[in-house]
Structure 1
Amino acid sequence: MPIYLYWGEDEFAIAQAVAALRQRVLDSDWSSFNFDKISPDQPDAVLQGLNQAMTPPFGTGSRLVWLVNTTLCQRCPEDLLAEVERTLPAIPEHSVLLLTSSSKPDGRLKSTKLLQKHAQIQEFSVIPPWKTELLVKQVRQVAQVVGVKLTETATELLAESVGNDTRQLYSELEKLRLFAGDSKKPIDQGAIATLVTTSTQSAFQLGAAIRQGETAEALDLITALLRQNEPALRIVSSLISQFRRWTWVKTMVEAGERDEREIAKAAEIDNPKRLYFLKQEVQSLSLPTLLQTLSILLELDASLKRGADELATLQIKVIELCELCRL
């Protein structure tokens, strides 16, 4: 009795997961008989879905019943709850019930607790653009699914180029898969720079521009990010995260630490292999400079929280940071 709950705001990622589930459980010759997609505007959609899930499949393969954008984990009347409680444990082995929702399940509801007990729950939320480690991790995961081998530098550049746009990530990786052909060699950053369309300006790029002292580029990125309705406090949060990571790496290296796992742990880096590139990035910056950047960023964060003008405040502090990193 497989039951799945997919939730989150990343609609494309959910659509990919649903397509994979359909391919896995349905026999293509019988899919038109054994697949039910029930929208929330249909009368008694949840009851209809539960009844369909109890119906044995025709022919070979399993039956798949999909409750689209269900509100079962946001509100559930007592009479419906009784049906859910009675039906979930009794769903036949060859029926699959799939529920999808853009909203986070309300853990206080009894219906949610029932699904937590009987269902496999997977989150598909859009990764915040300032969480660069998670973006890089997502690129690795999707590249594995698509069947593309990337060097570590290429992985980071692709994450920087597409940001948290899952649809574009899949599209670019399909393009790279065709480009690679039968080659067993991992794709490098040169191919990424040539083939991948950079559609977003990211705080990841902004941090790199500041670190390199590129004032004009950093100011352009600030303007672009704000035009994309990126909250100023999120931009600053990303910068603090980046510069804190660089500061930890520099601190540990100058302290003589040689165990890369210890450095990665201190800098909160999931993949220790990234340390090589991080060490290169901070090579030209002194530890006092990095510590001073954190002080400036904390001042910037405090100013914005007190209601300072976002664009002007960001511009002033970014200029100050770029000048500091050029010294």
Structure 2
Amino acid sequence: MHMKNQALIYFFYGEDAFRINKEIDKIKSAVLKKEQFDFNFDRLISPSLSEFLNIAGSYPVFSEKRIVQVEDFDDSFLNEENMLEYIKSPSPDTIVIFYYKNSKIKENTKFFKESKNKDYIRFNKIRLLYDSELPQYIKNLAKEKNMALSDEAAYYIMRYTGNNILNIDSELDKLASGIDKDDRNKEIPLSKIKSVVTLSKKFNIFDLTDKILERNLKAAFSIFNIIYGNGEEPIKIISILYSEIRKLHKAKIQEQSGMGLETILSVNSVLPFLRNKFIKNLSNFNLRELKKTVELLEDADLQLKTTSYPPDLIFEEFIFKLSCL
């Protein structure tokens, strides 16, 4: 089993632990067969440098390569002289995978300076997916499990399982176990998905956005307090809501300029199964209200980024001001 353009050292970092682990698994499965793992794979948690060097310098057993995966280390581990010597001349028989559990790297350290421009070292930053990217990722993840999902089905799963990919993967596994093998290559009906997927989430950011666009601000206030208490960040809520309101504002301008409804839906890339909701939301606001809402969101975003005012109070003030339009 071979990977094209295989590196000797991989360095993964970023916020998305699920996708990082999937990428690491791809490397491992491409390099080693199942029967080779016992003697040729080591996962080192907070190792000493001597432990790492000893294992990284070992020869593979009945395999072309061995893999050493290193986790939970600090910058001092990377910047020790013997580590710097290793990355200058790594073992050709060992693939080292560093999993740095931080969102950023310190590029001015000796390790990163020494690693630059070396074609056998690969740095891979894997960020969290944007909500707009999740439906396609869900479809791709389902395809890996030999299932075909429509756009509407992927959107449904995202809405009712949340935007945590680990939760989504778990629900897709449940879905796969409930689908006959003969039906997996066909597009799975939404009705079947609804009967299998566990609707275990209470409320999420999408529920809040819906209530605001429906102008049900009492419900929006309640949902905000729930999801804020569960750790949702107001700045992320503002970002998603701003995108939706800007789209409605643009559509309302187009509507008042005489553009036909079908053209408006097309130029704004409204998915077929979201048409009715988009049209209803568009009717909930007039042009002045949409323009003012955009301004309120921009003001809230600025406050969140430049003041020490409590984030929850900033968002609650936004909801209050919206209720006064």
For this structure pair, what is the TM-score category when the shorter chain's length is used for normalisation? 0.7 to 0.9
Corresponding residue for 1:122?
Answer: 124
Q: Determine whether 1:2 maps to 2:7.
A: yes
Q: Flag structure 2 segments of 5+ consecutive residues without an equivalent.
A: 1-5
State the AA in 2 paired with 1:84: I
**RMSD of aligned C-alpha atoms?**
3.4
Identity %: 20
CA deviations over 1:184-225 (Å, ceiling 9, x no partner) = 432344444442334363322211111122234312211112
Higher mean alpha-carbon deviation, 1-10 vs 149-158, is at 1-10
Q: Please point out which of 277, 281, 285 is paired with 1:281.
A: 277
Give the whole-Å Cα distance in 2 for the aligned partners of 1:135 and 1:283: 23
- Offset at 1:323? 7.5
Corresponding residue for 1:210?
Answer: 212
**TM-score, normalised with respect to structure 1:** 0.77
Give the whole-Å Cα distance in 2 for the aligned partners of 1:38 and 1:201: 39
Give the whole-Å Cα distance in 2 for the aligned partners of 1:85 and 1:172: 44
Q: Determine whether 1:150 maps to 2:134.
A: no
Relative to structure 1, the CA distance from residue 73 to residue 150 in structure 2 (aligned partners, 3 Å threshold; closer, same or farther) is farther
Contact 2:265 2:275 in 1 (8 A): no
**TM-score, normalised with respect to structure 2:** 0.77
Contact 1:260 1:275 in 2 (8 A): no
Give the whole-Å Cα distance in 1 for the aligned partners of 2:156 and 2:164: 14
Q: Please point out which of 26, 35, 56 is paired with 1:29.
A: 35
Contact 1:162 1:199 in 2 (8 A): yes
Relative to structure 1, the CA distance from residue 144 to residue 72 in structure 2 (aligned partners, 3 Å threshold; closer, same or farther) is farther
Higher mean alpha-carbon deviation, 253-262 vs 118-127, is at 253-262
Matched residues, number: 306
Corresponding residue for 1:106?
Answer: 106
Give the whole-Å Cα distance in 2 for the aligned partners of 1:323 and 1:190: 40
Larger relative contact order (Cα-Cα within 8 Å, sequence gap ≥ 6): 1
Corresponding residue for 1:51?
Answer: 57
State the AA in 2 paired with 1:187: I
- Offset at 1:116? 6.1
Give the whole-Å Cα distance in 2 for the aligned partners of 1:148 and 1:323: 47
- Offset at 1:170? 0.9
- Offset at 1:110? 4.6
Relative to structure 1, the CA distance from residue 119 to residue 80 in structure 2 (aligned partners, 3 Å threshold; closer, same or farther) is closer
3-state DSSP of counterpart to 1:197: coil
Relative to structure 1, the CA distance from residue 185 to residue 220 in structure 2 (aligned partners, 3 Å threshold; closer, same or farther) is farther
Corresponding residue for 2:173?
Answer: 174
- Offset at 1:263? 3.4
Give the whole-Å Cα distance in 1 for the aligned partners of 2:179 and 2:323: 38
Give the whole-Å Cα distance in 1 for the aligned partners of 2:264 and 2:61: 56
- Offset at 1:236? 2.1
State the AA in 1 paired with 2:277: E
